[in-house]
Structure 1
Amino acid sequence: MLRFALFCFVLKIASQSVSLIPEISNTAFQHKNLVIGFIHLTMLGVISGFLFSYILQSNLVTQNRNLNIGMAIFVIGFILTELIIISQGFMFYFGIGLLPNYYLLLFISSILLPLGIVSLIFNIYRTRLL
């Protein structure tokens, strides 16, 4: 999870650096999905990634297969939602329109995020009982 958080942080810094170019920052400002994707990257990728990394390094959880699967589900949900949001922003930019079943795809992939978090909470709860 620490590598994941660091990768997201590097991606965040790179996208901020690219937005120094006025044409790109104007485009991002006009297409809100790109801004939402950036905030999504920062909040879920960087902050949640570092928080999960801290929790995994602490004595709060027991390393087991269910915990690894839960963290993988969260990361897959994050990647899918990020790709859907960013691709929609680029589709608006290029004038293609709305991604087919955009809201349904976003909803289905977003379900994975709380599933991963519930798996982590369940593991913390089980560890506290032992």
Structure 2
Amino acid sequence: MDRRTFLGASLAVGFAPHALAQDDGVVRMRDLYNKDLSFSDYAKSMEGSRISVQGFMAPPLKAESSFFVLTKRPMAVCPFCETEAEWPDDILAVYTKRTLKTVPFNIRIVTSGELALGTYTDPELGFVSRVRLVDATYGRG
């Protein structure tokens, strides 16, 4: 293999969608968006597929829910209940099959579910999301 072929192959591998996932297969939230907050090519290619994302469970919006928000950083208060709280710019709505068992806000979890893109308003909660994991499961990560 000559140098030109090697460099070309190296660049191709570097831009492959799977290259965005961490070594353990967990996707970073930032890999779902471009800098202009449009969906990344990776997100578009994975829509409808199961992915895993690591983060923290924000305090649930209501008790006995099958919905929570995954945040990049731990949040001790509900970011949607406090008007003065800064709205997080890297969140992911998560819809589970079963009622939640809440995890303390400062414990890292890994959530796996089917990636759904596009604006969606939850009919029960009124929560608007652009990116969601549906039929999700989660555990300590």
Question: Shorter chain as normaliser: what TM range?
Answer: under 0.3
Q: TM-score, normalised by structure 2?
A: 0.21
Q: TM-score, normalised by structure 1?
A: 0.22
Query: Whose helix proportion is higher, 1 or 2?
Result: 1
Higher relative contact order (CA 8 A, sep 6+): 1
